[in-house]
Structure 1
């Protein structure tokens, strides 16, 4: 049945097709950015660029009112070329303003591979703005793999061969997820949080399995669509490396994002920190043994993560959690601080081997076995396993 709503949709469709060039030329297409946060540190690890159309005639057009139309009419490359150019310019503005550089990811449509040489477009933007390639991340949706799979496979290899990070977007939204992981080489997996719409035991197990699988095959993980503190705590506990969603911020213009991050105390991680976090991020924290991750700046140690088993051991010696551990480390007397510092330095020197040490804490003997997961001079991430020797002796 024809209706007024249908008439309006057809009218907008026709308008989008005939005005996309004008919208791009006159700046009606605005780029919004959504923050991506690293779970280990709570720092800003990146942002995703998303197109919004603010039209003088129709006002604010929703993405689902123009993106599918442009794809169906084989005009999507006009939009995506513009988004890529604007991402490059935004990065250049960050550099020129001497701000911390926040990498930008952007989505490439399956139609782009037919309508343009995507790599050449990105390379031109990189050259024009004198950008390191690792500041731009390319997102490809899972559904794009259904058609022209051989061509896309070759393009992904070209992207990665030229130094770009390639992400699989909306993982879990299609029907060929495992085949996609088997046949294509991605650097990061964006998990579709539709899994967690019903946040129950089954969905938690599925997400946990996905994260563990990704780590096992060397792929980093990012969960998108995260909205609640409960989801954040769960994703952090299973070692999901990054989070994107309304919990940390909606998509917004760049200047608003700056203010938002300042208000939320979201400090951008440095390029060097990002490289270390990426290396350590593939470590699987879901294990039976008590494991914690410590950040080491060469002077101070800071516990950034502990699994359930580690938390249980700490609770057994009267320490309530990570905050209490860090307070104890900070409050040690000089002699104990020097011993702990010497141990951390020995762990760093002996990487990647584990180094054991026994510490006395409130009358209990704790054996720690640690190794360095990743690091650069002046900053390292250590993994530490802990055993309560006193408890084990008492149980004999």
Structure 2
């Protein structure tokens, strides 16, 4: 074996890189990455090792520089990516545990070829999820060519890959790069730990806190000692890499050593859950704990020293010992914490509880961060308030009294217009959409959302005036009673509007500019408004009556009512109309035509409406069809001219859903044609739609086509994340299809992860383009329930006038061409 000291390594590497790759002399080593709060394996870094049959082991510093200087480094990096993809595929094929792997790149890689495309080809070839590969780039790479690397980072992240900055803090531009570039994770340079001084500790504290403030996850390299790990865990560094848990090793040895050390592999389905938990761990003097509640028992993931002190726990106590002493059912506190947890999990809001323990008066503040498979992640703080100052005690008593308002009000919130803050005090804020996670980020955003979602449209301007913060304080002071109140119609969970009293009261002694925002019900039979019985025969009284009738027709009835002007622009629509079409606000439709709403409108429809406006035609119980978010509805429509002093000024009309009306009359509901998961049509609805398209083809010569696509990775998503996330993927696929097709196509999920899109279309090329556009839009899905997903979309299509195609075989033929869809 040759002497590597005397060998010209540069020339040898340059001349033999192709042979080394071909013969497998380049080996892939893996170094473990551990999640600090669970001590589970959550990833690995791939590293190249050249083991030559002639010269033996060749250190990386002997071949990396040589390959970069001769612009051959891309050969090594492409080889490494393929080896990593193959290893991941092989482990998954054998149903063995697998974790994400980070791969290092050189700037020259991106100059020599389209690396994003290359990686995408390998991911498709080996059929692995994108989130199994993380892209590592260094600070020096970015500084050397910011324009190139900026585009590379955007391309990788937009395609669904995480981009990590390696060796953070090793250069002079780290902070500038965080300002100008988006990273998913930063790796702290190992030199921070090589000199483990108070100064390096403080720098690490600040860097990790700053990263979390920017929404960036953290990893520390070079962890070699228990004290390194303990410190990094205490300050919230999420991931740990270094010889303390393992050196880089070939895959088989890597896996064997993980098993020998009893290090469990983090399941992919829990990655997002645990990322949220890791992100919540902060370096703070406030008492902080992060626990998991499965409904029966609690498991502590993190508890800092101040929290331990308040619970009389030592820093030497393990989390298992803490859970045994604090949360076991024999503990006097266990019942209290179980009650607290149940309230937290039900409300989803920040809650405050007071209790006594060991003769002390304690305050617990908690919030659910996320939940998965019946497990809730809770962030909590507990404080000893026994020895509060008199001012603090007074504030605590006021706080307690505020919570007693829950007996009087549906909603009690503390608001501060000066700081734009809104805080739920009693956790009973019922007027919140489930998917709105930002309601409490801003008072003004919260009020705007509440106004749009829940206040009756005819009172929205009045509601905005009521909450005019420029005049609020003066109005309360002028009222002499410390508060103002007004009644508004508020939308309830069943879609109806009920009167509620909105109260805003000023708080004194609680800080400048703070108010309570409260909502309470009105007694049955009591509604605001004046009595019109005395002036019922007057013009004003009649106007009031007609106004009330109009208001109830428009906002409280089930009539899908609309009014248009002479240019066929919508002037008014009922709430039922908005709900039917899934339109969020009147502002989204008023002043627009059907065409501007991108609704599929044919010539007969236009001509009929023009005849109503120009000739006074009346339409009664006209049968028709419309497509709403992919679902075909059979409707009965009535339209008539709208007159003003004998002149036609527009048209007025309404329609009913025929199936809903039949169900109402017969008091029975037939089999649904809507898929419960996607809100698209199911197999029955798809069959009905196909019959309708066939009738249009045979009776009126209107050609049609069908596109069928399937996510071939659906079974893997089910096995990895469970049914809830898999169903969310199906929902997102349907949503993406509707984004492309608008109201012009009928869309169904007839089975599994198969979607059918039916549309009237004449040209095969146009159908082909639509199929490609839909597939690309669906394939762009990268997240579901916060989890990374990689879809594999297969699509086929058929035009009715294609040779050999009939109404009877068009559906079955595309389904057969799609192949095995039990995936």
**TM > 0.5 fold call:** yes
- Structure 1 residue 393, shift from structure 2 partner: 8.4
Which secondary structure state, in structure 2, belongs to the residue aligned with residue 170 of structure 1? strand
Partner of 1:354: 350
Partner of 1:207: 204
- Structure 1 residue 193, shift from structure 2 partner: 2.0
Which secondary structure state, in structure 2, belongs to the residue aligned with residue 386 of structure 1? strand
The structure-2 alpha-carbon separation of the partners of 1:378 and 1:16, relative to structure 1 and needing over 3 Å to count, comes to same
Q: State yes or no: 1:280 paired with 2:277.
A: yes
Listed as ranges, the gaps of 5+ residues in structure 1 are none
Which secondary structure state, in structure 2, belongs to the residue aligned with residue 275 of structure 1? helix
Contact conserved, 1:301 with 1:329, CA < 8 A, in 2? no
Contact conserved, 2:194 with 2:222, CA < 8 A, in 1? no
- Structure with bigger helix share is 1
- Structure 1 residue 99, shift from structure 2 partner: 1.5
- Structure 1 residue 84, shift from structure 2 partner: 0.3
Contact conserved, 1:53 with 1:62, CA < 8 A, in 2? yes
Of 257, 260, 276, the match for 1:263: 260
Which secondary structure state, in structure 1, belongs to the residue aligned with residue 377 of structure 2? strand
Q: State yes or no: 1:389 paired with 2:371.
A: no
Q: State yes or no: 1:370 paired with 2:362.
A: no
| Residue correspondences, number | 389
- CA–CA distance in structure 2, aligned partners of residues 318 and 223 of structure 1: 26
- CA–CA distance in structure 1, aligned partners of residues 253 and 79 of structure 2: 21
Q: Per chain length, whose mean CA-contact separation is higher, i.e. which structure has more relative contact order (CA < 8 Å, sep 6+)?
A: 1
Which secondary structure state, in structure 2, belongs to the residue aligned with residue 166 of structure 1? strand
- Structure 1 residue 320, shift from structure 2 partner: 6.2
Contact conserved, 1:372 with 1:382, CA < 8 A, in 2? yes
- Structure 1 residue 358, shift from structure 2 partner: 3.4
Q: Deviations over 1:81-132 (max 9, x none)?
A: 0100011111111111111221111101111111111101110111011111
- CA–CA distance in structure 2, aligned partners of residues 7 and 42 of structure 1: 41
Partner of 1:62: 59
Partner of 1:153: 150
Contact conserved, 1:51 with 1:83, CA < 8 A, in 2? yes
Partner of 2:172: 175
Q: State yes or no: 1:39 paired with 2:61.
A: no
The structure-2 alpha-carbon separation of the partners of 1:266 and 1:318, relative to structure 1 and needing over 3 Å to count, comes to closer
Q: TM-score, normalised by structure 1?
A: 0.92
Of 185, 190, 193, the match for 1:188: 185
The structure-2 alpha-carbon separation of the partners of 1:93 and 1:186, relative to structure 1 and needing over 3 Å to count, comes to same
The structure-2 alpha-carbon separation of the partners of 1:269 and 1:204, relative to structure 1 and needing over 3 Å to count, comes to same
- CA–CA distance in structure 2, aligned partners of residues 163 and 345 of structure 1: 36
Partner of 1:252: 249
Q: State yes or no: 1:114 paired with 2:111.
A: yes
Partner of 1:143: 140
- Structure 1 residue 164, shift from structure 2 partner: 0.3
Contact conserved, 1:276 with 1:380, CA < 8 A, in 2? no
Partner of 2:670: none
Contact conserved, 2:281 with 2:302, CA < 8 A, in 1? no
Q: TM-score, normalised by structure 2?
A: 0.45
Of 8, 29, 32, the match for 2:6: 8
Q: State yes or no: 1:27 paired with 2:12.
A: no
- Structure 1 residue 284, shift from structure 2 partner: 5.2
Contact conserved, 2:308 with 2:314, CA < 8 A, in 1? no
Contact conserved, 2:333 with 2:357, CA < 8 A, in 1? no
Which secondary structure state, in structure 1, belongs to the residue aligned with residue 144 of structure 2? coil
More deviation, 35-44/280-289: 280-289
Q: Deviations over 1:331-369 (max 9, x none)?
A: 323986455334223212322x21223344344343211
Contact conserved, 1:314 with 1:320, CA < 8 A, in 2? no
Which secondary structure state, in structure 2, belongs to the residue aligned with residue 290 of structure 1? coil
Q: Deviations over 1:110-156 (max 9, x none)?
A: 11111111101110111011111111100001110122210110110
More deviation, 320-329/379-388: 320-329
- CA–CA distance in structure 2, aligned partners of residues 61 and 90 of structure 1: 23
Q: Deviations over 1:261-317 (max 9, x none)?
A: 1111110111121111222333352223211111223332111112232133233x7
- CA–CA distance in structure 2, aligned partners of residues 148 and 135 of structure 1: 27
- CA–CA distance in structure 2, aligned partners of residues 152 and 109 of structure 1: 11
The structure-2 alpha-carbon separation of the partners of 1:81 and 1:202, relative to structure 1 and needing over 3 Å to count, comes to same
Partner of 1:380: 376
Q: What are the residue-to-residue correspondences of 1:64-143 with 2, within 5 Å?
A: 64-143=61-140
Of 297, 303, 307, the match for 1:306: 303
Contact conserved, 1:193 with 1:226, CA < 8 A, in 2? yes
Question: Aligned-residue CA RMSD in angstroms?
Answer: 2.3
Contact conserved, 2:136 with 2:166, CA < 8 A, in 1? yes
Contact conserved, 2:350 with 2:367, CA < 8 A, in 1? yes
The structure-2 alpha-carbon separation of the partners of 1:237 and 1:7, relative to structure 1 and needing over 3 Å to count, comes to closer
- CA–CA distance in structure 2, aligned partners of residues 48 and 281 of structure 1: 20
Contact conserved, 1:306 with 1:322, CA < 8 A, in 2? no
Contact conserved, 2:361 with 2:384, CA < 8 A, in 1? yes
- CA–CA distance in structure 2, aligned partners of residues 184 and 355 of structure 1: 37
- CA–CA distance in structure 1, aligned partners of residues 316 and 75 of structure 2: 55
Which secondary structure state, in structure 2, belongs to the residue aligned with residue 77 of structure 1? helix
